[in-house]
């Protein structure tokens, strides 16, 4: 068994600081195991969010050595044993305490996205969809709402004032899932263009890099959505055709 030095952000209302803990580590442990060990032995009140401990719920997001990650899926053997490991809360969200941040803004954004609205089923009462038509939407449905993409996004991270005018990568994935759903009948391009602020994204792909579900956020969600907005609002030929045909 080896011992490691963990530097954990602690905040108790009187300002915060990194506190060091020396913790024994066994084979196979992940960062969340070490945090639990610190809770049980050194700091009972260390605040941390977690649920499934298997990369399926997206609760234990944090910044480990500066990189946004899930604590439950970050193995300790990723780091050299003689160097200290820093665990900090997600920076883009207001801090509550220690490693716990206030992510409620995300739930407010979710409310503003027009919900799924299916067309009528086929003549036999069944909604038929081919697997190849839903593959790309199923990729978006893999999202576990860890909000690491929101955390790393330059627009949200460096410009807190933009949270009111920019939905962020998680919600572009959500809107893409709805827009590309074979049964959905709503159009959300106006929302994307205006309120969701899709134009602020300059496709640096940081969100894609941190996604623990490996969703191709930029290539498969954001860029196709940008194209849809352009088609609907800025392409004069398409606009003319639509006008003549009387379609939306």
Contact footprint for another protein (CB under 8 A): 12-13, 26-30, 33, 39-41, 44-59, 73, 75, 96-98, 100, 103-104, 107, 110-111, 115-116, 118, 126-131, 134, 137-138, 141-145, 178, 181, 184
Shortest Cβ 3–another protein spacing (Å)? 16
The whole-angstrom separation of Cα 39 and Cα 180 is: 44
Residues in CB range of 67: below 8 A, 6 or more apart: 210
Shortest Cβ 207–another protein spacing (Å)? 19
Alpha helix (H) residue ranges in the chain: 31-41, 104-111, 131-141, 148-152, 154-158, 169-179, 189-193, 206-210, 223-233, 236-245
Shortest Cβ 150–another protein spacing (Å)? 14
Shortest Cβ 76–another protein spacing (Å)? 9
Nearer to another protein, 14 or 247 (CB): 14
Shortest Cβ 221–another protein spacing (Å)? 15
Nearer to another protein, 40 or 240 (CB): 40
Shortest Cβ 151–another protein spacing (Å)? 15
Backbone angles phi, psi at 68, to 5 degrees: -65, 125
The whole-angstrom separation of Cα 190 and Cα 175 is: 12
Structure tokens at 71: 């604590």
Residues in CB range of 157: below 8 A, 6 or more apart: 91, 92, 151
Structure tokens at 115: 């919900």
Nearer to another protein, 111 or 248 (CB): 111
Nearer to another protein, 68 or 226 (CB): 68
Nearer to another protein, 26 or 227 (CB): 26
By the 10 Å C-beta count (0-12 exposed, 13-18 middle, 19+ buried), 235 is classed as middle
Nearer to another protein, 56 or 154 (CB): 56
């Amino acid at each position: 068994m080896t011992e490691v030095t963990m530097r954990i952000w602690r905040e108790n209302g009187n300002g915060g600081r990194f506190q060091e803990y020396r913790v024994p580590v066994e084979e196979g442990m992940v960062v969340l195991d070490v945090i639990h060990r610190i809770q049980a032995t050194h700091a009972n009140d260390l605040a941390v969010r977690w649920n499934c401990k298997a990369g399926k719920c997206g609760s234990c997001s944090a910044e480990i050595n500066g990189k946004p990650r899930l604590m439950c899926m970050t193995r300790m053997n990723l780091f050299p044993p003689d160097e200290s490991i820093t665990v900090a809360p997600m920076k883009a969200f207001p801090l509550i305490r220690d490693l716990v941040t206030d992510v409620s803004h995300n739930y407010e954004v979710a409310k503003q996205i027009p919900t799924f609205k299916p067309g009528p089923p086929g003549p036999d009462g069944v909604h038929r969809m081919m697997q190849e038509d839903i593959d790309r939407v199923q990729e978006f449905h893999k999202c576990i709402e860890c909000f690491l993409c929101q955390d790393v996004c330059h627009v949200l991270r460096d410009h807190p004032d933009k949270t009111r005018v920019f939905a962020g990568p998680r919600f572009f994935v959500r809107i893409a899932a709805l827009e590309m759903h074979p049964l959905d009948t709503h159009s959300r391009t106006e929302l994307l263009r205006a309120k969701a602020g899709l134009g602020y994204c300059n496709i640096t792909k940081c969100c894609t890099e941190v996604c623990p579900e490996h969703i191709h956020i930029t290539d498969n969600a954001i860029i196709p959505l940008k194209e849809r907005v352009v088609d609907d609002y800025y392409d004069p030929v398409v606009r003319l055709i639509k006008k003549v045909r009387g379609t939306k």
